[in-house]
Amino acid sequence: MGKRIRAQRKGSSPRYKVNSHRFPGRNRMPNIKDEVAEVTELIHSPVHTAPLARVKYGEGEESLVVATEGIAVGQTLAFGDNVSLRPGNVTTIGNIPEGTPVNNLELRPGDGGRIARSGGASCIVESRMEGGRIRVRLPSGKTKDLPENCRATIGVLAGHGRSEKPLMKAGAAHYKAKARGKQYPTVSGVAMNPVDHPHGGGNHQAVHGPNSVARGAPPGSKVGHIAPSRTGRGRGKRK
């Protein structure tokens, strides 16, 4: 019987776990409306690619949000329908003019923000569609039609340019991965021995046999393409 593969070890070994103190807290848009919040602190989070902002609103209530480029400590952020187009203000995408960059965009109204949450990311409000939906261009370049009452933060997310500086040496990549509870370097399965991985062995570094597995496959063999929608079979014209 072979060894426990890396995918199995990740489930129980503390080597692959990140310390909880590296997470400052849950960072979602607070579910408030027609209020003004004050930025009390900008926080560096090792596990995030963009800084976080601690905002204070209501009767001393506080929450963490992803920081938009251009905000500063002491600045006020507006939440609601009638807000100005200042970086950091939060409103529904139905109230945002076309061509405006936004970040921390909601997929469903009230979910606190799901899209464009990594450093330097932003979406573009493109056009208004029928049925109360807004077409938004995502950071990937694709477009998506969302309900007009989904909220978003105006502006581009802070932390832009983090990937422009090269890592230069393996030690920098090691510490970058360590901050997120990941191991560096990672070895591909085809480079291993058969005892270490289902893809290991052979005279060449190739997957000898099918590399797609079922959704309910046991953990020791659940590697490669898991439950793919299409495989290499049936290369003829699709009807």
Instruction: Give the C-alpha separation, 110 to 172, whole Å.
Output: 38
Q: What's the confidence (pLDDT) of residue 85?
A: 92
The class of domain 20-154 in CATH terms is mainly beta
Domain-wise residue ranges, the chain: 20-154
Distances (CA, A) of 159 to 42, 67, 82, 83: 12, 9, 28, 24
Reported as type and span, the H/E element at residue 175 is: helix 170-178
Question: The tokens 């464009």 sit on which residue?
Answer: 116
Instruction: Give the C-alpha separation, 72 to 111, whole Å.
Output: 25
Instruction: Give the C-alpha separation, 136 to 118, whole Å.
Output: 17
Q: What's the confidence (pLDDT) of residue 193?
A: 93
The single-letter DSSP state of residue 167 is: -
- Walk along the chain (239 residues) and give the pLDDT tens digit of each residue: 568 888 888 877 777 777 777 788 889 999 998 999 999 999 998 888 999 999 999 888 999 999 999 999 999 999 998 899 999 999 999 999 999 999 999 999 999 999 999 999 999 999 999 999 999 999 999 999 999 999 999 999 999 888 888 999 999 999 888 887 788 899 999 999 999 999 999 999 999 999 999 999 998 899 999 999 888 766 655 55
